[in-house]
Chain A
């Protein structure tokens, strides 16, 4: 069996090798595909912190993905139309600066995760799944009717936002930014898992009574995990919007929430590289099978079924021979 560390290293190397090859072969589209995988992986790393360590099966993570997307969309829209953004008490100018957009995207997502977490964490199991799904639908229908920002049609951002010192219009440079964000998120998850917080959160998933009897509050642990999780997925949403230069209500759709869960299950729940492997497989299937048949989701479903039937712990579980945590 292959040690997990070797798999992790191979995944990171592979993720770097593909776009470097693509640059040399002048395969721009491959760079875009890889960037898409990296961004989806980032979103799923966010979810994995809540789901894999904390056991919170959120079926509403599209909320944060969408909020990150709309944070980017709204700020860039006001910048490109030279209209101020009226926030009631103050009015601010839009921006085309990625760092500013990222800060706003993560802050808004974190705040939303805090509110949603407060309201939904008192439930567990199916109820938690349903209530997070409901929040997702709420945002979805809200943005559909939000005509100021394109309503159902969404809105296009004509020029990709900028990052100091880089030309983000060059695909490989934008890829580099996304890849760096993913690596930072992975580093965060890794440190988190080994910290006192991670140990307690992991215990709270398995036995909340135990966590309480040592004087810790499992609810607060889970809430904080949910906030961190939402913030990371929000950042991914902002990057996704910048990749497509387009935002629309589909970023809030329940399908997207479901896909993030599926990515994690394919790669390995709670595993560091689970979301990355899952996203790579997902994007590859979407591309190859999607080109062959409109029903590629059926094949995705079949793969999912195989993984659930033949091994807990997804691809990483199969390769390492070790089942993952039980959620």
Chain B
């Protein structure tokens, strides 16, 4: 089996007495979509933040391409190849869609130390930003301020920014949330093709999307991975039905 692009080993995080993630060891292999599902408050977003660097772990390790990145900052992990999207959109709301995506291009290429040349007129950077916007189907909203976007459109900008990073692994926290049936279907098709560019660790509540996309699914309950398996295995798992699927009608 090929080496994982992304792996966690025994990640732990507590908030006071609450254990949000408890000994989580998962991996993401080339070309796959690995979905993380679990009830609200299971610790999915906490796990994502531990992987991407926003939250320091109490214990455990994170590896990208075999390199231990546990001690690295969020920015350094991004440069090491992590493309993360947020569950709650973290966009520069006063800025346009284009500017937000351009920020990703700046981070992925030259860096932000050019101080005198107008960045929006840099052809190469602008084209890369527009390509990402095209991919998520937001090209015609490029001059809209993010504050004026619908919730679903913001999710799309999130994905577009991650695309500009050309990461080695995508880590997406509920990209379908708020998209509506039509949007979810479109994004599902898009993510399906994206896995050939880089594997995706996908946190998602939309079960249709998860079952359509995932090569493997891990079920997180109370901070613990209770099972990891293929779609068929998860569907037929009694433990899962009991702990999770049974709870949600």
Contact = CB atoms under 8 A, between A and B. Distances in A.
Given A195-B115, A196-B113, A212-B53, A203 B86 contact: no
B215 to A, nearest CB: 25
A217 B75 contact: yes
Interface in A146-171: none
A255 interface: no
Contacts of B84: 213
A326 B94 contact: yes
A196 B78 contact: no
Contact of B115 (A192, A209, A213): A192
A200 B114 CA distance: 10
Given A212-B73, A214-B106, A221 B112 contact: yes
Interface string A203-219: 10011011111111100
B161 A214 contact: yes
Main secondary structure of the interface of A (DSSP, over half): helix
Given A194-B119, A203-B92, A212 B112 contact: no
Interface stretch (B27-35, B97-105, B224-232): B97-105
B107 interface: yes
Interface residues of A, number: 26
Interface string A263-305: 0000000000000000000000000000000000000000000
A109 interface: no
Contact of A215 (B78, B115, B119): B78
B91 A199 contact: no
B108 A214 contact: yes
Interface string B119-134: 1101001000000000
A209 B103 contact: no
Given A197-B112, A197-B113, A216-B75, A210 B103 contact: yes
Contacts, number: 116
Contact of A212 (B75, B95, B100): B75
A325 interface: yes
Given A207-B90, A210-B90, A195 B75 contact: no
A196 B116 CA distance: 8
A191 interface: yes
B46 interface: no
Nearest to A191: B116
Residue picked from A201, A203, A209, most chain B C-beta under 10 Å = A203
Given A191-B115, A192-B115, A194-B119, A199 B104 contact: no
A325 B99 CA distance: 15
Contacts of A217: 73, 75
24 contacts: A191-B117, A194-B119, A195-B114, A195-B116, A195-B117, A196-B112, A196-B113, A196-B114, A196-B119, A196-B125, A197-B114, A199-B99, A200-B106, A200-B107, A206-B94, A207-B90, A209-B54, A210-B92, A212-B53, A214-B107, A214-B165, A215-B108, A216-B75, A217-B75
Interface of B: 52-54, 73-76, 78-79, 82, 84, 86, 90-95, 99-100, 102-104, 106-108, 110-120, 122, 125, 161, 164-165
Given A214-B78, A214-B165, A215-B165, 15 more contacts: A196-B111, A196-B114, A196-B117, A197-B115, A198-B119, A200-B103, A209-B90, A210-B86, A212-B53, A213-B161, A214-B107, A214-B164, A215-B75, A215-B78, A216-B107
